[in-house]
Structure 1
Amino acid sequence: MHSLIINPARTTHREVPFEFWEKDGLIPQLIRLSIGLEDADDLIADLDQAIHTAFES
């Protein structure tokens, strides 16, 4: 099982009206992180790299 990061607004919940998202305090920029069976240090390093890359843009 592998880890996965998705944006529900563009995938699993793309057909849910925004009013439902707003009611629950959710935003389109929300990401879902599902942790798999990879080594914890590898996951932390990958997430750290992704976060730093995102904020450099």
Structure 2
Amino acid sequence: MTQSSDRRTDRTDRTATLGIHRSTLLYRLHLIRSLTQYDLTDPETQFNLQLATRIQLA
């Protein structure tokens, strides 16, 4: 239960930061999963994607 409520809070924070509705975020995450076949809930995948994004921006 704690984990799911933490996730909900995290998504709420993300939607506020991005300025989008919660359903828009969920749709986009689903679309990314469908197109890339990445498991976005996997910590290693999250790390690799974040690292790749930071390298690309540098």
Q: Structure 2-normalised TM-score?
A: 0.33
The structure with the larger Rg is: 1
Higher strand share: 1
Higher helix share: 2
Higher relative contact order (CA closer than 8 Å, sequence separation 6+): 1
Q: Structure 1-normalised TM-score?
A: 0.33
